[in-house]
Amino acid sequence: MPPLSNLAVRDVETVVHPYVNLASFRDSGPLVIERGRGVFVFDSDGKAYIEGMAGLWCTALGYGNEELVETAAEQMRKLSFAHLFTGRSHDPAIELAEKLKEIAPVPISKVFFCNSGSEANDTQVKLVWYLNNALGRPNKKKIVSRVKAYHGTTIAAASLTGLPANHRDFDLPLPGFLHAGCPHYYRFAQEGESEEEFATRLAAELDALIVKEGPETVAAFIAEPVMGAGGVIVPPKTYFEKIMPVCAKHDLFVIGDEVICGFGRLGTLFGCQKLGFAPHAISIAKALSSAYLPIAAVMMPEAMYQALLVESKKVGLFGHGFTYGGHPVSAAVALKALEIYARDRIVEHAAGRAPQFQARLRALGEHPLVGVARGLGLVGGLELVADKRSKRSFAPQNGVAARAVRFAEEQGLIVRAVLGDVLTLSPPLIIDASEIDELFDRLGRALDRTLDWVTRERLTQA
Ligand SMILES: Cc1ncc(COP(=O)(O)O)c(C=O)c1O
């Protein structure tokens, strides 16, 4: 391992990083990013990378968008802070809430602002509990999520998340959080099972789980349209068509987690539109402001709002909120981002680029290291395997996908490795045809380098 730069040493000695092995990170150090332009970022040595992950699935409009910069500066000059507590309000929050109601894919009555996807999902859980108290159903409180779901890392959101590293030794999940089967066809479909049959089985298993727990104790179901951090898992055909009636049968409140899929990622404004289902409430964050500033929201239906009215009358106030929820600068930037998405037809652009992106992605499915290539719109995943025929994985301690990420960085490309040796891709939605080609050329070379390394280290052997 080459010695760390001065900046890297300062980082290692001062910053605790999310989502690394903190022990091995002391040797590898950080990749320090200094600036960005369009779909490119530049490290502290000036090296350019295609940001193949749009940061963390979020910088939809890329870097250096002057309109967003100007909007933030203008709003800061006018009113740098105002809050929504105790009956205060401000223009940007009101306008943004109106806009979100207008573009929502399902009937939305009100919007509650937060700062992150985790806060939005924590809020969803609290509101569902409130709702069932208001409805006189104090036992109907359990929330069903799914294995490999990612909903964030605060205590309730991490409980919703279905990934072991977010639970283990954090004493999570909390009681009352259930995880239904994961709609991962490549890994979890049975021998000879079609996508439709797999979906039918998952729906039957969800039904059985709810019946076993007692439907009178199960309050809600939460789902990402396409699972992101779990490994870009596109549900099998007819999945939501079969899952939604099970939720309806047991009177479950359905929460759509659109934190990644919202605002064009799948080629439709909201992911649920692409997957053909209608949640009752929706969590949004990330591309809401194209990640220029933190902002997130819960979009809720009238029935939920009525419950909040009942409860706040009873309790005396609605005791939930965040100092920076709906921050005027973030809200102004989000409004501008929504204006740009509409004016520049960003969602249509993403949909238009999707066939090329998916074709190049699927071509890498032929690579000897890739078990399966999957994706939708401008999101993709490559699951790396030791043996294509048997789908045998590499031993996790070999860190094969993590090594591929390093080789990609050498090639000037940022991708991410998630659990199960899946490489994920989610570039800014403004990416053009030649940049998509360049991204996949670089990724192909990185996979070849990874294969050489795997062969040298004899990692393909069982
Ligand atoms: C689907 C989904 N929900 C929630 C979150 C949590 O968002 P945040 O990291 O802003 O708390 C994420 C983050 O990646 C996500 O992908």
d(CA 150, ligand 1 centre) in Å = 7
Burial string for 245-272 (b: 16+ CB within 10 Å, else e) reads ebbeebebbbbbbbbbbbbbbbbbbbbb
For residue 270, give the DSSP letter: S
> What's the gap in Å between 220 CA and the centre of ligand 1?
19
Q: Determine the atom of ligand 1 nearest the C-alpha atom of 229.
A: 16
Q: What is the pLDDT of residue 462?
A: 67
pLDDT of 2 reads 79
Phi, psi angles (nearest 5°) of residue 263: 70, 40
DSSP annotation string for 31-66: --EEEEEBTEEEETT--EEEETTHHHHT-TT-B--H
Angle (nearest 5°) at CA 444 between 441 and 446:
110
Cα–Cα distance list, 439 to 44, 65, 194, 412 (Å): 21, 21, 32, 9
Atom of ligand 1 lying closest to residue 56 CA:
14
Instruction: Please give the number of the atom of ligand 1 that sits closest to the Cα of 154.
Output: 11
CB 385 within 8 A of CB 370: yes
**Ligand 1 center to residue 434 CA distance, Å?**
30
Given ligand 1 and candidates 56, 59, 259, 272, which is best to mutate, with the most ligand atoms within 8 Å of its CB?
259
CA–centroid distance, 401 to ligand 1, in Å, is: 21
- pLDDT tens for residues 375-424? 999 999 999 999 999 999 999 999 999 999 999 999 999 999 999 999 99
pTM of the predicted model as reported, rounded to 2 decimal places? 0.98
DSSP calls for 385-420: -SBTTTTBPPPGGG-HHHHHHHHHHHTTEE-EEETT
- Ligand 1 binding site (Cβ under 6 Å of any ligand atom): 56, 116-118, 121, 150-152, 224, 228-229, 257, 259-260, 285
Query: Distance, CA 163 to ligand 1 centroid (Å)?
Result: 13
- Distance from the alpha carbon of residue 229 to the mean position of ligand 1, in angstroms: 9
Atom of ligand 1 nearest to the CA of 118: 11
pLDDT value for 88: 97
pLDDT of residue 116: 98
List C-alpha distances in Å: 204 to 178, 210, 243, 246. Answer: 16, 10, 8, 8
Those residues of the chain that have pLDDT short of 50 are: none
CA 427 to ligand 1 centroid distance, Å: 16
pLDDT recorded at residue 1? 76
| CA-258 nearest atom, ligand 1 | 1
